[in-house]
Amino acid sequence: MKEKLHNLGITEDATCCICVNTDENSEHLFFSCDYSNRVIDQIGDWLRIVLPTQNILHWRFNRNGSKTRKAIVDATINSCMHNIWRQRNSSKYELKITHPNKLAQIIVEDRSQNPFLSSFEQEDWR
């Protein structure tokens, strides 16, 4: 990522493209950036679970729940990370960023358009 390139002297600026508060690395971008935390909090509210902002990868493989529920939560987390990464690129290259509330809404809407996820009953989603 950017920090690695920075260490190699390839780029001058290793600041997080989204919050511009701290150095960017994958740990920051997905787990401690305020922007990501706001998106993840909202997705957690929607799923009615508290999503950890730290160790989310460890958490997803070590929790209880039905297979269906796990599949839904995992697919949603994947979508979250994918969308946060896209926002990071959009901020960096196009100087545009979607409001975290709006992004959370897009993630939820995307999910309903996903054939895998839309094969489940509505009640399974929450």
Per CB under 5 A, residues contacting Zn ion are 16, 18-19, 33
Least Å distance, CB 16 to Zn ion, is 3
List of long-range contacts for 114-121, beta carbons under 8 Å, 24+ apart: 114/75, 114/79, 116/71, 116/75, 117/72, 117/75, 120/68, 120/72
Question: Considering beta carbons, is residue 33 or 40 the nearer one to Zn ion?
Answer: 33
Least Å distance, CB 88 to Zn ion, is 9
What distance in Å separates the CA atoms of residue 11 and residue 29, rounded to the nearest whole number?
A: 18
What distance in Å separates the CA atoms of residue 91 and residue 40, rounded to the nearest whole number?
A: 18
Least Å distance, CB 12 to Zn ion, is 18
Interior angle at CA 126, CA 78 and CA 61, nearest 5: 45
Question: Considering beta carbons, is residue 100 or 125 the nearer one to Zn ion?
Answer: 100
Question: Considering beta carbons, is residue 33 or 51 the nearer one to Zn ion?
Answer: 33
Question: Considering beta carbons, is residue 28 or 111 the nearer one to Zn ion?
Answer: 28
